[in-house]
Amino acid sequence: MVWRETGIMDERLKFVGECLEGEETMTALCAAYGISRKTGYKWLGRYRALGPQGLLDLPRAPLAHGRATPEELVARIVAEKEARPLWGPKKVLARLQRTEPQLSWPAASTVGEILKRHGLVGRRRGRWRAAGTGALAPVSHPNAVWSGDYKGWFRTRDGRRCEPLTVMDAASRYVLALEACATPSEAEAWPVFERLFKEHGLPDRFRSDNGSPFAATGVTGLTPLAVRFIKLGIGLERITPGRPQQNGRHERFHLTMLPLAATPEADQAAQQAAFDAFRKSYNDERPHEALAMAVPATQYRPSPRRLPDHLPEPDYPAAAAVRRVRSNGEIKWNGDLVYVAGALAGEAVAIEENQEGTWTLRFHTHPLGIIDRKTRRLVRPSAVQPRPAGAGADTAMQGGEV
């Protein structure tokens, strides 16, 4: 039987009041109100213990849920999140499972609810997604592609400029370098890369944007740093201007390190120490969803291509016309001076003619452009108009002296 729906609290108060008057037996009162004697004694006991508040309904949820996460695990989850405030539930759970696999950890969704109850989850930002592009070669294994970029500059607390240089292995997401540089220059960048090449070997290709010191304006786009890479047999990949999503892995890493710039250190030395600690945590502790929650350090291995003691000279075929670039960046060809690139001053380049009579210029295996027969200028291949059918070949390999 249930209480008559004339107002549950009113009915209960009226029932208790009549019980306390003692004019009717409990059996008679319960029958009059349509409830069992057990229910009647329950409400009378609650009233005597708590007063009118005792007649309110209690929560029906069990005091201890049979599937609730043990408090010991909750405490460890909360402690892990507090130690790594930038990590989400999936990464927190992955690290706990890796460090203590013998424990029965809850699902990632449960970890998220636990962190939310403890006020450790902020408003979720819209997720940054990189658009795919077919213009760049796919990444198949560690050291197939390294990517490099400079994070936007900020000032350390002593007022000095800091522009972090970041270098990453694209396949494993292993951060090879996070350097506190003052400016994006070859003078600061080359020592970093030289150290990386000695420690990790050489990558097959290097991917960057079109900014200094990785690329320059002009037909070849070469800088002294790029020339060093070519001489080491490292292929150059440059993303399309204005399309940072083509280097999406690297851009996503820059989002992860944003808090470092928001809380600058006292000086460059202290900033570098903070960068080193962040890089170690990122490589050795932080699970990565693209790696099935493994950490980058477990996926990376050094390259078998070692840094040579000396930068090698090019090995051009006998049929190629070899010219050494002058100090002003020009070569002499067929009686004319053709500007190539100032970064190649003193280097030997090769001119080869194909079956269509096109003069192509390259440095080691890196294509530089085409010498336009009409203007006698170096241009990109797309800027050259096709020769009319039946046109005779010029004196292709009669170039003048350097």
Say if residue 278 is in the same domain as residue 379: no
Q: Note the pLDDT tens digit of each residue in 195-214.
A: 999 999 999 999 998 889 99
Helices (H) and strands (E) in the chain, counts: 12, 13
Q: What angle do CA 395, 399, 402 make, to 5 degrees?
A: 175
Same domain, 288 and 243: yes
In this structure, is residue 134 part of a structural domain?
no
Do 160 and 292 belong to one domain? yes
What 3-state class would DSSP assign to 368? strand
Q: Given a cut of 50, is residue 139 above it in pLDDT?
A: yes
- Residues 152 and 295 occupy one common structural domain: yes
> 11-25, 30-44, 225-239: which range is least confident on average?
11-25
Beta bridge partners of 333: 336
- pLDDT tens-digit profile of 351-381? 998 888 889 999 999 999 999 988 889 998 7
Q: Are 206 and 189 in contact (CB under 8 A)?
A: no
Contact 236, 126 (CB under 8 A): no
Whether the per-residue pLDDT at 129 is higher than 70: the answer is no
In a domain, 273, yes or no: yes
> How many domains does the chain contain in total?
4
Q: Using a pLDDT cut of 70, give the percent of the chain over it.
A: 87
**Bridging pattern class, strands 235-238 and 205-208:** parallel
The total of other beta-carbon atoms located within 10 Å of residue 24's CB is: 13
Residue 385 pLDDT greater than 60, yes or no: no
Mean pLDDT within 99-127:
78
Provide the mean pLDDT of the chain: 83
pLDDT at residue 60 is higher than 70:
no
Do 293 and 156 have their domain in common?
A: yes
The model's pLDDT over 315-345, given as tens digits with 9 standing for 90+, comes to 999 989 999 999 999 999 988 999 999 999 9
Q: What predicted TM-score, i.e. pTM, was given to this entire model?
A: 0.66
- pLDDT at position 200 is 97
Q: What φ, ψ does residue 259 adopt, rounded to 5°?
A: -60, -25
Based on the fold, state whether residues 255 and 371 are members of the same structural domain: no
pLDDT in tens, 255-310: 888 888 888 999 999 999 999 999 999 999 888 777 778 889 899 999 999 999 98
CA-nearest of 206, 208, 214, 216 to 342 is: 216
Residues 159 and 265 in one domain: yes
Please identify which residue in the block is written with the tokens 């409400």: 43
Residues 295 and 214 in one domain: yes
Boundary residue ending a domain (299, 330, 361): 299
Is there a single domain that holds both residue 288 and residue 165? yes
- 157 and 78 in a single domain? The answer is no
For 147, other C-beta atoms within 10 Å of its C-beta total: 25
Percent helix, strand and coil across the chain, each rounded to 5? 35, 15, 50
Q: Do residues 367 and 360 make contact, with C-beta atoms less than 8 angstroms apart?
A: yes
Q: Which of the four pLDDT bands, split at 50, 70 and 90, describes residue 86?
A: confident
Q: Are residues 206 and 335 in the same domain?
A: no
Query: 357 and 220, same structural domain?
Result: no
Between 43 and 235, name the one with better pLDDT: 235
The Cα–Cα gap between 363 and 378 comes to 13
Q: Can you give the CATH number for the domain in which 225 is found?
A: 3.30.420.10
Does some domain include residue 389?
A: no
The gap between the terminal CA atoms of the chain, to the nearest Å, is 110
Of 351, 388, 391, 343, nearest to 371 (Cα)? 351
Helix axes 89-99, 108-117, angle to 10 degrees: 110
CB-based contact 249:170 (threshold 8 Å): yes
Range of the domain at 359: 321-383
